[in-house]
A = this chain, B = another copy of it.
């Protein structure tokens, strides 16, 4: 493959359909891979090791940090969460775009460390629709819905940090849009450094030769 894969961050409002989008992208195209986070928190019912998370203990997590084995990590409520480096690098090396489904704080860390990463924010078509989706689940108390809305307000404050904002109205259309954004992103100079320095050097050589 001509180019290394892209490190992608997918964030967005709870209820925006990120999980379904990621599944759709991976099913439809063979050049995407989902990064699975490592965590020290205990598995919840139904969560499987290596699917939702890699579950591990504090000692192993801290050893992994020391060995520079995580590209980013954070701690919430006394538990560590992090992105293992090896999988990300392996997949990118074979040309796959690696998706991190993480939130604003993690997204900002990734962008700082990897300026060539691509940050995408997913949103429903409107706030009205987001509210409808949160209420529709039906299982949540008004308090939980209020919390989620407050959380959505916070999340909305960070949108400008993302490279692109995509509206998830129709799933298939949205998958296609994200795929095109990744394709477009490949054409940003920050991801064409080799090409640029090659053409620059060659031109300098020709210009000298022509004098």
Of A24-32, A36-44, A81-89, A124-132, the segment with at least 4 beta carbons within 8 Å of chain B is A124-132
Copies of the protein in its oligomer: 2
CA distance A164 to B192 in the complex (A): 9
Tell me which of B127, B205, B211 contacts A202 (CB under 8 A).
B127
Contacting pair B207 A159 (CB below 8 A): no
Interface residues on A, range: 35 or more
Tell me which of B127, B157, B164 contacts A206 (CB under 8 A).
B127
Contacting pair B207 A153 (CB below 8 A): yes
Mark out the residues of chain A between 175 and 203 whose CB falls within 8 Å of any chain B CB in the assembled complex: 177, 180-181, 183-185, 187-190, 192, 195-196, 198-200, 202-203
Tell me which of B126, B150, B195 contacts A165 (CB under 8 A).
B195
Tell me which of B146, B152, B190, B199 contacts A127 (CB under 8 A).
B199
Smallest distance from the beta carbon of A58 to chain B beta carbons, Å? 35
Instruction: Considering the complex, give the chain B residue whose CB is closest to the CB of A119.
Output: B189
CA distance A162 to B127 in the complex (A): 34
Q: Does A77 contact B (CB under 8 A)?
A: no
Name the B residues within 8 Å of A126 (CB-CB).
198-199, 202
CA distance A146 to B123 in the complex (A): 52
Mark out the residues of chain A between 83 and 130 whose CB falls within 8 Å of any chain B CB in the assembled complex: 121, 123, 126-128, 130
A-B pairs with lowest CB-CB distance, top 10: A127-B202, A184-B184, A146-B210, A149-B207, A164-B187, A156-B200, A127-B203, A160-B189, A150-B207, A127-B199
